[in-house]
Each structure stands twice: as C-alpha cells, then as structure tokens.
Amino acid sequence: MSRTRTALLAAMALVAGAAGTAIAAVPDDVGAKAIPCTVDYKVQNQWSTGFTTAVTITNNSAAKSSWSVKWSYAGNQTVTNGWNARITQSGTSVTAANETYNGTLATGGSVSFGFNATHSGTNALPTTFTLDGVTCNVDDGGSGPTDPPDPGTPNARVDNPYSGAKVYVNPEWSAKAAAEPGGSRISSQPTGVWLDRTAAIEGVGNNMGLRDHLDEALRQKGSDQLVVQLVIYNLPGRDCAALASNGELGPTEIDKYKTQYIDPIKAILADPKYASLRIVTTVEIDSLPNLVTNTGSRPTATPECDVMKTNGNYVKGVGYALNKLGDVGNVYNYVDAGHHGWIGWDDNFGASATTFKEAATAEGATVNDVHGFITNTANYSALKENNFTINDNVAGKSVRESKWVDWNRYVDELSFAQAFRNQLVSVGFNSNIGMLIDTSRNGWGGTARPTGPGATTSVDTYVDGGRYDRRFNTGNWCNQSGAGLGERPQAAPAAGIDAYVWMKPPGESDGSSQFIENDEGKGFDRMCDPTYTGNPRNNNNMSGALPNSPLSGHWFSAQFQQLMQNAYPAL
C-alpha cells in the first residue's frame, strides 16, 4: 500500500525536529485540492529546554463556525502557554480549539495560533494532525502524487464513522428476529455481516452476498450517512484454541486467504458505486490473542496455536487484510482485541498490544491502516460491573484475589477497553484510535441481576454476590445460560469508545452442543456441551452452555428468546 505523502511528512518532521528549524508541513507538489485540510507546524525558536511554535490551519472543506485541531507528540513535549487558541494537553495528545473571536473558518480560509512548550531530548515534530476529526495533509487514502487514485469516498475518513450516521440493518437477520415471538422489538437493530468463508462473498445458497448487502445498504442510506459492519473472518488455521468455529483454510493456506478471500472482498469494496458508504471491517476475531495466551509452555496452549505462531500466518493474514482493505478510502479497519477475561492479566496485556503492532506492520500494512479495535466480539463479558471495583478489599483480601477475578486487573469491558486503548497508543498506534465494544449478549439482566454488593464474609461472597456476569468463569464462551442482550447499539457512548455495537447477531449459535456432520469445516467443541466439566482455559469449570444448540452461525431460537428475556436495559 502506498503512503507516499505520510512517509514524506514523517521524514520531514524528524529532520526538522532534530535541527530545531521551521518547516512547511505540506510539500509543494502535493495537490491541495485533494487534501481536506493542511496544518503548517513551524518551530520558530528552540533552546535546550523549550521551543516556540507557530501553527497555521487551512480548511479545504466546507466552511466552519468552530474548529478543533489535534496532534500527538512522540516525546515529552509539554505545552505551557498559547495564544489565539484554547490549548489543552492530556499525556502526549494536544487539542487546540478556536477562541470566541476566530471560530469562523471559510472554505480555503486559514487561521493561525502559537504556543510555548518545554521538552528534553529530541523535539520530533508531530506527523499526524486532524481538523474536527479529519486527517490533514493527506488525501483520502494517502496515495502519492504519482500513484493511481485510491478507490472509495471523495470525502476524507472521519474520526468516528458512527457519529452522525445510521447503521446497516441486515434484512436476513432482521427477518429471523421478527419471526420470533417478541422479536419485532429488536429486529430493526443493526448487526454485523459475517464473511466467514470464501463462498459468503458471493452468497451461499439463497443467502445474500457482499454486493447484495452493499446494494441494500445504499437503499437504506438514502441521503444520510450509513455505516456497514463487516466481519472479516477466514484466517488459515482459524480459531486455533477452539473447534466450533474452525474455518475452511488449513494452517498453511495463506496464499488462498490472500487471493481468494481478501482480494475479492477488496475489489468489491473499492467499487466507486459504494464510495458513499462508511464500511467498518472488524478484522479476524479470536486470532491474534491466541498467539499470546494459547502458545508455548502455558497450560492453556494448544498444538494448533503453536503451529500458527511458528508459521506466522495469523500475523501475515491480518497484516495483508489491513493493508489491502486500508487502501479503500471509505473503509475503517478495527482489529479484534479479545476481551478483559482473556487478555486483562498482566502477562497478556502488554504482550497482546505488541503482537497487534507486529501484525499491523506486516505485509505492507502500517498503523495508519488501523482505525481502531473491537473488544468482546461474540462474548459475554459485562460492560460495567457497578457493585465492586478492582480496588476493593474485603476480609483482608483484594478483589483481585477472588476466584472470579483471579488476579485480572479488570472486572468489566468498559474499563478494559479504555485502558487497552492507552496501551495500544503507547506501543505506536495512532493517538486517535477508537474502540468498539460488542454488547449483543452481555446484558445479564432478568431476575438474576444483583442489585448491590455481595456479603462481606469473604472476598468471594462479596464478588460473586454482586457481579452481573453470571458465568462460571470468564473463559466460558459458548451459548451461555442466563445471558441477555446488552446496551443497544449507539455512537460515542463513553470516552475513547467509538460505539457499542451488535457485531455478533443475537440468536446465532456459538457452536453445537453435540457433534453434527457439516460441510462448513466446523468441529465439535466440548465447551458447547452443557455436561462438559472444563479445561485450563476456563479453570476446569462447567461450560455453562445451553443444551440442544446448532452449528455456529445457525439460528438458535432458544438462545434468542433467553437474550430478550434477560435483556439489560430491559426491552
């Protein structure tokens, strides 16, 4: 993938930072008309402990009555005072917003401000600027002036694709939901479209293919903005720690993944017909975290995961997908980040972020191809546990010592997603990445929902009596008994969170409770058997699975009814 302008800007910034000289942030040969905005950041004066900077913004998009520019530093630069803008800083991230007297910014108009700052060491200039969430100094896809134009939207990517947009309602899922007693209450909710095998691109049997969904999305869009949510899910050796969601490609079939799966998807998404859609891709659920938690000498390791770590095809596959799909100007890539009950432990937290960075810079991809991350996809971890915190102590013990928390540093998905976002930025991902949280099955409502903390007799009675999540263990993932629908899909619900989403369509099974012959490559996993007593991945607890479940992805009416019954907030 070409990133000519971005690379040139970064190189210029590093040179200027080392020399302490002023530069223009945009080279002369970059066509300004293709760029939604430019930021000219000049260090006017620099000394051993500080510097003075002048910043000029030029707006090439629609006129504005207010504006906000953001950037991040690679070092310890700290703004001390500024003029002609209200400047705030959090960590390495800086925001400069207009004063009351200079909020108007016409199309083609410019505005300037300045500031003083302290620093030590190298004063590397920022390489990425956004104006009201839109990346400046690059065109839609970042192509260089000699590159062919990127296919996709004529508008630059926005900071949060869900803001101000409708989200696609899959008519196939909607019809199944509406056919259930009471299902019409949620059948108009948006859900993810799973491309879980090559045949799904064209459509299996009478099912809609990718173009069918995109055509329907255009119809639903009308004159509004609309997000389409796609799940990219067909890695070689897929889901190496489970059997219910094994895929069609063997561990070594990386070339088939590239040429027969990712390339055809990219070709369809790049059709200019679909350039007005905001296409959110959630990339390879349950893949990269397995390389951290289920390999090597860990008791949770599997031979299949060791194979995938050794051959590198998870990393290569994710990198290739990010690279190719990231070339399409209206695609927003979100990488799977597991959930708090998987990578929230000290041993897994930092190592997972490092592994994700490795994948995001493999096969020609860069961190600019990653718009954000998604947690809790197809899982059941509660969004927010209100009856206890990780900092509580009961009967002389920390909550972390309880059997349920088991030394994890997080007790719910929201706290985990926000903390993990910071970790991802610290290893080199862009500071404006956003998180998605799948809330399709984590409501845990109904009569079993506690209304307050448990008894303080012991740390276990305290946690177990107060927790919303009623699973036997956070490692339980298959068709969980007692689960309910969670928060309805919504944009920007919390700091750092782009949206709550229903990426996993409620009512679709996680796996069969007994072996079922099939031609979909799906095995039988005992974690879907309600009589199974467990393994090291769930601390040898009962599976907690519902009985009589069909193959993964197939409709499971009993589960759907349970999810509605136990919904929180209630339907």
Helix/strand/coil (H/E/C) assignment for every residue in 245-294: CCCCCCCCCHHHHHHHHHHHHHHHHCCHHHCCCEEEEEECCCCHHHHHHC
The pLDDT assigned to 29 comes to 40
Tokens at 393, concatenated: 């102590």
Region 189-201: mean pLDDT is 96
SS3 content of the chain, % helix, strand, coil (to 5): 30, 20, 55
Region 105-126: mean pLDDT is 88
Q: Quick check: pTM over 0.85?
A: no
Amino acid 258 reads K
pLDDT above 90 (res 544): yes
The closest of 450, 469, 462 to 396, measured between CA atoms, is 462
181 prior amide bond cis, ω within 30: no
**What digits encode the pLDDT tens for the residues 370-395?**
999 999 999 999 999 999 999 999 99
Region 389-417: mean pLDDT is 96
| Phi, then psi, of 383 in degrees rounded to 5 | -65, -45
Q: Which residue has the higher pLDDT, 60 or 151?
A: 60
Note the Cα 174 to chain centre separation in Å.
Answer: 24
Amino acid 485 reads L
**Which stretch of 207-216, 270-279, 314-323, 444-453 has the lowest confidence by average pLDDT?**
444-453
Per-residue pLDDT band at 9 (split at 50, 70, 90) = very low
Per-residue pLDDT band at 397 (split at 50, 70, 90) = very high
Amino acid 29 reads D
Positions annotated as catalytic residues are 286, 510
**What digits encode the pLDDT tens for the residues 222-254?**
999 999 999 999 999 998 988 777 889 999 999
Per-residue pLDDT band at 528 (split at 50, 70, 90) = very high
The pLDDT assigned to 51 comes to 87
> DSSP letters of 203-254?
-STTS--HHHHHHHHHHHHTTS-EEEEEEE---TT-STT-STT--SS-TT-H
Are the CB atoms for 227 and 160 separated by under 8 Å?
no
Per-residue pLDDT band at 139 (split at 50, 70, 90) = low
Phi/psi zone of residue 334: left (φ > 0), alpha (ψ -120 to 50 degrees), beta?
beta
Determine the 3-state secondary structure of 220 from DSSP: helix
Q: Where are the alpha helices (DSSP H) in 275-386?
A: 288-293, 303-311, 313-326, 340-343, 346-360
The closest of 317, 256, 253 to 285, measured between CA atoms, is 317
Q: Which letter, b or e, does each residue of 336-348 get, where b requires 16 or more Cβ atoms within 10 Å of its Cβ?
A: bbbbbbbbbbeeb
Per-residue pLDDT band at 143 (split at 50, 70, 90) = very low
Per-residue pLDDT band at 14 (split at 50, 70, 90) = very low
Rounded to the nearest integer, the mean pLDDT of the chain is 89
Are the CB atoms for 305 and 295 separated by under 8 Å?
yes
**Which stretch of 65-79, 140-154, 246-260, 275-289 has the lowest confidence by average pLDDT?**
140-154
- What gap in Å lies between CA 247 and CA 126, rounded to an integer? 42
Are the CB atoms for 43 and 20 separated by under 8 Å?
yes
Tokens at 173, concatenated: 């899922």
User: Angle at Cα 554 formed by Cα 262 and Cα 484, nearest 5°?
Assistant: 105
Region 18-25: mean pLDDT is 36
- What gap in Å lies between CA 378 and CA 559, rounded to an integer? 13
Which helix (H) or strand (E) element contains residue 414?
helix 413-426
**What digits encode the pLDDT tens for the residues 422-472?**
999 999 999 999 999 999 999 999 888 999 999 999 999 999 999 999 999
pLDDT above 50 (res 145): no
- What gap in Å lies between CA 311 and CA 320, rounded to an integer? 15
Are the CB atoms for 91 and 53 separated by under 8 Å?
no
- What gap in Å lies between CA 516 and CA 506, rounded to an integer? 21
User: Angle at Cα 191 formed by Cα 188 and Cα 196, nearest 5°?
Assistant: 145
The pLDDT assigned to 15 comes to 38
